[in-house]
Amino acid sequence: MFAKLARPFPLGATLCDQGCNFSIYHPENKPLKLVLFKKNNKPHIIELQNNYQNIYYTFVPDIKAGQVYGYYIKDKGEERLILDPYAQALDTIAHYTPPFTAEQSWKFAKSVVVDHSFDWQGIPAPRIRHEETIVFETHVKGFSKQHPEQPHHLSGSYLGLCQPSMVAFFKKHGINCLQLLPITSCMSEPHLLKMNKVNFWGYNSLCFMAPEPRYASQDAVTELKTMVRELHRHGIEVIMDIVFNHTAEGGEGGPHFHFKSLDKNYYQLDSNKNFKNYTGCGNTVNLVHQPSLNIVLDTLRNWVTHYHIDGFRFDLASTLGRYGDRFNTEAAFFKAIAQDPVLREVKLIAEPWDIGPDGYQLGSFPRGWNECNDKYRDTVKSYWLCKENNIKEFATRIMGSRDLFSAGKWPDKLPVNFISYHDGFTLQDLVSYNRKHNYANGENNRDGHGDNRSNNHGAEGRTENYAVLCRRERMKRNLMATLLFSFGIPHVLAVDLLSHSQGGNNNAYCQDNEISWANWALTKEGDEFLTWISMMIHKRQTIMPEFIKAFSGHDRGRHRVIWKRSDGHNMTGEDWQGIEAFALMLGLDKDGDELLFLFNNSTIPTRYRLPVGNKWDIVCDTSESQHNCRQAQTSYMQSALSMTILHRRCTALNQP
């Protein structure tokens, strides 16, 4: 009877009332057996009785959720225990002492059978529109670890991120979408293990479908689902940052956890059968190989179906569209997602590059994908922090980078604009350091990006100099006001709301300590900035969605875009060569609502003549640390190195 219950699909461990079906893809001619571990950790070996298209499978009766298992494989004369690539959970945090030997594999983390039953309490997905989305990049442990109102046993955990105090913070400050740094199971690289460090960010996938146990007190599966449910209850989306471009097995000489032992063709290989390294991590997943494509798609459906995840940010996503050395926007991966009834409805964000040939693909991803816009980051930082004469490029970026992302495909094809990301300086460090300070990483400051486009404003790092502090705070406001009111989906590093500094470390991937943990003890300046940016987020959500929708699609041409000099005259071609004080006016239809941006990147105050009509409401003036409700009508004196955003309703709405 039980033999009839054995099935090749789905792959992995699938529970039913009678027991569990185990299925694994293995085209190599190596002995392979299922290993079940009893409570005394004694292994029980079971033959895989069936084979269908290189999928070995069997049904084992009376198996319950929580059963620990793995697969015995004899590889090059070594008897090794490997993980199920489709494992839904791990029994412990993955760790070993290098090198990873066959003997160590039996003491390593093991796969766990999971029952995905969960009470979602009827909570619907928030389904936030693209024009209303603000992505807040967040590390599960890093953001909640030091929160003063966090229960100690939940700090740094999935449950810690959805505690009432944390949810109250998100709601108060207008946070409607969390993009979590990787929460799939992760294995630290051998060089970190040798230094007694960990991969804190998590960009080194072990098992794609298993949640990282580091962030759970007992059961990572249930606790992660609880976190998502409670965030959804309060209208907050959850996007996963996920890594499919490489795995923790690395390149030649790297450890064997599963894929390498089962089928080396999961990875891209050169003519000599060596691993291609288009990721900087030693190996590159080959999505032209059908089993690789299958597990990636199965993984995405797993997270959406079982965990109600709202979307994904794909690390080094150009790899996913590769056919050998070339990127192809018509790749099978993109086609498969576009036709998938589960995946085509979630948010898809690409980091549109890798380090291989043909790797930089900003603007090339198909419809249905948003893309991280590094040109926006570099341009805006250069304009405000480096005082480069790049106003034409600056104007293009704040208007939505329409040279790369056609407004005819907005709002679903809006670029994801950002100033700071997990890799690079935090906002506070951008205005506090001229150079990176990564010595704590143990690589003699050789790691991390050298092109930071930062400005310490007169002192490197911490200072009590009041003038320096004022300049830094003003520049933070310039950067964030520009980001929030540009056309696009703003991406905000969550710790930037707290003015968190990493001490100048721009590559804190291995710093599971106070360098990376959000510092909730705000200074006076930090508290003022949090109040300011909270106000700005709420104003952005009140004003910008209407303008984004108006400037999207086929009817966008009927609205007004006017670039002006400070004297009120329209800019000429000559003005674009080096003007320091200029204005942008956006208007809906012929006489609808209007937005006015005053940019003054000069070192002297400049008086602007304002367009005639009703009074303008001042949304913000970045020269001021606090918002004062006031209006302007005919002219406005703009302080040096600052900007002001003004808004006025259409004439009809202003009638008494």
422-440: average pLDDT: 98
Q: Work out the angle at residue 297's Cα, subtended by the Cα atoms of residues 490 and 344, and round it to the nearest 5 degrees.
A: 50
pLDDT for 30-45, tens place per residue?
999 999 998 877 899 9
Answer whether residue 141 shows pLDDT above 50.
yes
Give percent of the chain above pLDDT 90.
95
**Which of 189, 230, 315, 512 is labelled catalytic?**
315
Domain boundary among 494, 518, 547: 547
Determine contact, residues 622/474, Cβ cutoff 8 Å: yes
Q: 334: buried, middle or exposed (CB in 10 Å: 19+, 13-18, 0-12)?
A: buried
Domain assignment present for residue 125? The answer is: no
CB atoms within 10 A of CB 398: 22
Say whether both 254 and 344 belong to one domain. Answer: yes
Find tokens 């293990």 and name the residue: 193
Whether residue 565 lies inside any domain: the answer is yes
pLDDT of residue 310: 98
Buried b (16+ CB within 10 A) or exposed e, 247-285: bbbbbeebbbbbbbbbbebbbbbeeeeebbbbbebbbbb
pTM: 0.97
Evaluate whether residue 361 is within a structural domain: yes
pLDDT > 70? residue 476:
yes
Domain stop point among 486, 516, 547? 547
**Tokens at residue 181, please?**
């740094």
d(CA 243, CA 240): 10
Pairing of strands 594-600, 642-648: antiparallel
Kindly indicate the confidence band of residue 1, based on its pLDDT and cuts at 50, 70 and 90. low
Per-residue pLDDT band for 653 (boundaries 50, 70, 90) equals very low
- Judgement on whether residues 542 and 577 belong to the same structural domain of the protein: no
The bridge status of strand 416-418 relative to strand 326-327 is unpaired
Beta strands 237-242 and 311-314: pairing type? parallel
- Asked whether the CA dihedral 440, 441, 444, 447 is positive or negative, the reply is negative
Number of compact structural domains in the chain: 3
Does 445 have pLDDT greater than 60? yes
The answer to the question of residue 327 being in a domain is yes
What is residue 42's predicted lDDT score, i.e. its pLDDT? 86
Indicate the SS3 state at residue 579: coil
* C-alpha–C-alpha distance, residues 88 and 11, integer Å: 11
**In angstroms, how far apart are the furthest CA atoms of the chain?**
88
Token pair of 419, please?
A: 């100033």
Residues 538 and 499 in one domain: yes
- C-alpha–C-alpha distance, residues 546 and 394, integer Å: 22
Average pLDDT, the chain: 96
In a domain, 619, yes or no: yes
Neighbouring C-beta atoms of residue 306, cutoff 10 Å: 17
Instruction: Give the mean pLDDT of 572-578.
Output: 93
Model confidence at 414: pLDDT above 90: yes
- On whether residue 625 sits in a domain, the answer given is yes
Residues 287 and 432 in one domain: yes
Cα–Cα distances in Å, from 495 out to 154, 313, 337, 426, 450? 19, 19, 32, 8, 22
Domain that holds residue 104: 2-112
Q: Is the pLDDT of residue 169 over 60?
A: yes
Structure confidence by residue, pLDDT tens digits, 336-386: 999 999 999 999 999 999 999 999 999 999 999 999 999 999 999 999 999
Give the Cα separation of 325 and 471 in Å (integer). 46
324 in any annotated domain: yes
According to the model, what pLDDT value does residue 592 have? 95
**Closest residue by Cα to residue 67 from 26, 23, 9, 19:** 19
565's CB contacts (< 8 A; 6+ apart) are 571, 575, 579, 581, 582, 583
Above pLDDT 70, what percent of the chain?
99
Reply yes or no on whether the pLDDT at 266 is more than 60.
yes
Same domain as 349, residue 409 = yes
Last residue of a domain, one of 494, 519, 547: 547
Q: Are residues 388 and 490 in the same domain?
A: yes
Residue 459 domain flag: yes
The yes-or-no verdict on residue 121 having pLDDT over 50 is: yes
pLDDT class of 3 with cuts at 50, 70, 90? confident
DSSP string, 404-471: TS-GGGTTTT--EEES--SSS--HHHHTT-SS---GGGTSTT-SS-S------TTSSS----HHHHHH
What value does the mean pLDDT take over residues 609-632?
94
Indicate if 165 and 219 belong to the same structural domain. Answer: yes
Active-site residue, 593 included: no
652: pLDDT strictly greater than 60: no
Whether residues 136 and 90 share a domain: the answer is no
Per-residue pLDDT reduced to its tens digit, 268-299: 999 999 999 999 999 999 999 999 999 999 99
Residue pLDDT, tens place only, 209-249? 999 999 999 999 999 999 999 999 999 999 999 999 999 99
Task: Report the CATH number at residue 104.
Answer: 2.60.40.10
- Which is the catalytic residue, given 237, 241, 351, 473? 351
Res 654: pLDDT: 41
- In a shared domain, residues 210 and 315: yes
Q: Is 287 found in the same domain as 168? A: yes
Predicted pLDDT at 650: 80
94 in the same domain as 135 = no
CATH code (residue 248): 3.20.20.80
Residue 481: which pLDDT band, with cuts at 50, 70 and 90?
A: very high
- Residue 60 pLDDT level (bands cut at 50, 70, 90): very high
d(CA 371, CA 407): 14
CATH code for the domain of 566: 2.60.40.1180
Q: What is the pLDDT of residue 651?
A: 57
Write out the two tokens for 37. 């571990």
- Alpha-carbon gap, residue 551 to 430, rounded angstroms: 32
Is 589 part of the annotated catalytic residue set? no
Q: Mean of the pLDDT values across residues 615-635?
A: 94
Strand bridging mode 50-52 / 55-61:
antiparallel
> How would you label 70-92 residue by residue, b for 16+ Cβ within 10 Å and e otherwise?
bbbbebeeeebbbbbbbbbbbbe
Tens-place pLDDT, residues 179-206: 999 999 999 999 999 999 999 999 999 9
What is the mean predicted confidence (pLDDT) over 496-511?
98
Do 277 and 266 contact (CB within 8 A), yes or no?
A: no
Give residue 655's pLDDT: 40
Whether 446 and 591 map to the same domain: the answer is no
